[in-house]
Structure 1
Amino acid sequence: MRLLTRYILKQFFYLFFISIAAFAGTFLIAELFESLRILLNNKVPFHISSQYLLCLIPGILVQTAPVAVLLGVIFCLNQLNRYRELTIMKASGLSIYRIVSPLLVASIIISICIFLVNELVVPVATPKASHLRLYGIEKRQIPYIYSHISFNEGNRFFYIRTYNALEKSMKEIQIIERRPDKSRTICTRIDAPSGVWKEYKPREVEWKLYNPVIRKFSPSGEMEEMKEMKEKRIFLQYSPDDFKEMKKPEEMSFSAFLHYIKSLKESGNYNINLTVDLYQKLSFPFASFFISIAGIPFALRSKRSGIATGFGMSIVISFVYWIVMSLSLAWGKELLVPPYLAAFLPNIVCLILGIYMLQRTPT
């Protein structure tokens, strides 16, 4: 690594880590003060409150990384401009593209790291933080009884009146199977007063129904056969846990979210908004790279500006990015644009703007 690259990266990472630490500290202090009354009134132990705050950090890092990268890039280039180092580099024959290339490489490495954190750490930390908030800090009672769960798998419709998540037991189960042809008439109906389930491996779940009554129907709808059994076992891809409550996108990895959407499609509970959120899980971690591309030309054009100017520039660019992102996501959820375009549009806008401005920057 050349001396110049080390020098630029040293300044960038110094400013980046200061920025992201400041953001994380501000968010945590704000959350602490907001929860202070509840913590004192409920006499929450220190280890629970500290665990709660620690579990918030991965999500905060993912959300604030793009702004921290932008601040690092703009402050770094402003500092080079301020002390005429940028002018000296140009005079020595270095192009602007060579000077900013270490910043772009650093930003894409940070984006990959943020993606991994969002995939591996956030899906574990965020649900734990929510659990600690609700049941460790606010002292709410943990629910384990759920009612009226329904979903589809293939040609079969499942309904469970009462589900005990602790015991993995079900009551008043109804399974209706329809013919795969165009008529979609009922061919089999199973009613069981109770049952349990067990998962052997992912997407291989055994349901054990007790004292089921099985009815078979003709294409015309007449009952042809009724049979009572002591026990019946069926194997499915899903369990009641998959449908007992709606899951939040931020609490799942991309692969888990994709599987969740597939299960909702099969159950008839699919919403197009979830596909927008799915693509958003891919696009947002790389916002750090694209937003830095948009910020570099503006930083190069500012002549020896101070900290306040650099900070203001970062806020304006970040604000514009968030506006474009909010609008594009809203358009995607209103079906005005395809879901993938809604998620990636802010990054595309930053890329086009950055390249356009960079080409018009004196090299």
Structure 2
Amino acid sequence: TIVVQKQIEFLQTMEVGFDRQNLVYLPLHGTLRNQCEAFKQELRQNADITHVSLVSHVPTGVWHNGSGWEWENRNISSDPLITYYCADLDFAETFGTSMIHGEYFREELVGSSSYQSGEVIINQRLASIMGLDNPLGARLSNYGYDYKIIGVIKDFNFKPAYASVGPMIVFHRALSARHPNQYNYIFMKVRPGSIQETTSFVKATCESFCPGYPVELKSLEEDYTRLYRSTEQIGSIIGYGAGLMIFVSCLGLFGLAAFTVEQRSKEIGIRKVLGASVAGIVRLLSKEFLILIGVATAIAWAVAFLFVNGWLMTQFAYRVDIGWGPFVLAGVLALGTAFVAVSFQAIRAALSNPVDSLKCE
């Protein structure tokens, strides 16, 4: 239970390669999509909107990809599935991404680009797969399309943490003559606490461009929260289940301790008559239980480690470091709970009048 909760916290706070705070977006379609550049410029007039960018996909959504790409000295056995991303000139600034090599798109660099040729940016993962010491200036080609690499962008998670970052090509222009506008979403970086004012402004602006356009601004941070909701539900179920098992175990342990004390009542009475202290009797009765629970805890550690490690390894490409902390804490809690349950009955027996248990002898 502790590991699941730690993994959920890790997923919600992990570094994804860009700043997802205060990022909202609006889907583009129909007439508004055809006027996206003018719409973008109008949104930039609002002081609460610091940056605006047009992109093809939402980081938490479904992406386009393909294979069959060629480059210099490519290993013929390697044909990676590469993700495609279309972004305008303001993407890096809006999302807070950074360049590892080269530079991001500039108007002077991409002015002559087309869907068949031009400049592209690749991520670190693709640069590693290509195996080039310096990928800047290298060419990527695919079925008659030819592109020049002008930069390497820092890897960012365009998939959930269940999968590792894959190779990516970032385009500025459309990928097909049949679809000249690949921008499906407009992202806005807004000032903290200004979402309501921004929403009202976006609705009014949409109405002027495309009357009746359905406006529903979505938060990228909330998307990430929803993305791992199923994991949170698993954590809640495991937590409730663990709580129930602990409660039932305590009831059983409490009853077993009461039964043991009753069976050994005469022994306890004799020991008290001979001068045994309350602490000595509690130690005597608790020792056997604690030894058994200690052995059970050690076995549970091994089983729990194999289970949670297997779950993390198979379900998540990015996972929390388990460490020994959760297991030590669980062991201490188990022994502490057992000690309290047994000690209650032991103290009760130790404080009783030995005459009551010995009078029939």
State if a TM-score over 0.5 links the two structures. Answer: no
TM-score w.r.t. length of structure 2: 0.26
Could you say which structure has the higher helix fraction?
1
Tell me which structure has the larger Cα radius of gyration.
2
Q: Using CA pairs under 8 Å that are at least 6 residues apart, name the structure with larger relative contact order, 1 or 2.
A: 2
